[in-house]
Amino acid sequence: MVPVSPSQVDDFGLPPGVRDQYLQGARDQLGAIAELAERLIAAGDDTAAIETLRRDAHRLRGSAGSFGFPQASVVAAELEEAAKKWLEHPGNGVAGRGQAARAFVRRLAAALFTKQATAPPPPAEPSPPPDLAAPAPESSDVPEVIVVEDDPALAELLTFGLEARGYRFRHFRNGREALDLLKTMDTQGSSQPPLLLLDVDLPALDGYSIFEELQQECPGKFRVVFTTVHGSETEQLRGLEAGAMDYMVKPMSLRVALEKIRRWVGR
């Protein structure tokens, strides 16, 4: 192994890029924990899910602090202890375990994916001529995923999964409100158009109407995937021929939905 000099480590004493690599793995770990939380929503006495949750929390507890995420280690330790108590007292608080696990996932996501404080950057070098200037960095304010969904349960499931995976996202439940804000949303700082998961069956203003108006007023601003319970060939072709990137039929598996989103977003 090539030795790493002090000048080659980051503010946490790690070689450059190591924390980013860890976060990629942690994102998958947290996704797995989120799936276990959903199992406990369905059945709070699922001991196999609780035991797996305990093991996953234990692994995260042991690794996160070593990579500069001490708060994530603290939260993972609390989750591990909670899982132990659920196993020791299988009849206590069964109904609330799923929601409790969801809350832990949200706290872990915040501890892992909220931008960390860093040392002041070195003095900036003179700016290059305008024609040689590097492109502007991606703005952290631009959402990677936008969900327009009026079903509260499905919206909660999707946004929970997005939060667990560390995505920047926005959620709208009203079609008219969504359209007004989408048209005025500034996406200039994004390296690619945000992914728009657009429910077809919205009250007042349906998804097709929203998409048509967006195409007329700001074409290419969003990459659109329609979501609907109507999964017939005719319906899917209607959306694809209108210019949508893809179609996602409800009900949907959270695991499958997140894998599709990962491929669409690119991380």
> What confidence category does residue 170 fall into, taking pLDDT thresholds of 50, 70 and 90?
very high
- Measured CA to CA, the distance from residue 146 to residue 169 in angstroms comes to 5
> What confidence category does residue 196 fall into, taking pLDDT thresholds of 50, 70 and 90?
very high
DSSP annotation of 128 reads P
Whether the per-residue pLDDT at 29 is higher than 60: the answer is yes
Mean pLDDT is lowest, of 21-30, 195-204, 248-257, for: 248-257
Tens-place pLDDT, residues 50-68: 999 999 998 888 888 878 8
* Structure tokens given for 178: 């969504």
pLDDT recorded at residue 255: 83
- Could you check whether the bond before residue 193 is cis, i.e. omega within 30 degrees of 0? no
Look up the pTM and report it. Answer: 0.68
Q: What is the mean pLDDT of residues 197-225?
A: 92
| 139-265 CATH pick, 3.40.50.2000, 4.10.95.10, 3.40.50.2300, 3.40.50.1370 | 3.40.50.2300
Rounded to 5°, the CA angle 20-221-172 comes to 80
Round the CA-based radius of gyration of the chain to a whole number and report it.
Answer: 21
Q: What is the mean pLDDT of residues 27-43?
A: 93
Mean pLDDT is lowest, of 119-123, 160-164, 253-257, for: 119-123
Tally of CB atoms within 10 A around 108: 29
Domain boundaries, the chain: 10-113, 139-265
pLDDT recorded at residue 117: 36
pLDDT recorded at residue 11: 61
Whether the per-residue pLDDT at 180 is higher than 60: the answer is yes
Q: What is the mean pLDDT of residues 21-45?
A: 91
* Structure tokens given for 12: 């946490």
Whether the per-residue pLDDT at 130 is higher than 70: the answer is no
What is the CATH topology of the domain spanning 10-113?
Four Helix Bundle (Hemerythrin (Met), subunit A) (1.20.120)
Whether the per-residue pLDDT at 92 is higher than 50: the answer is yes
Contact, 60 vs 29, CB < 8 A?
A: yes
Among residues 170, 212, 214, 218, the alpha carbon closest in space to that of 195 is found at 170
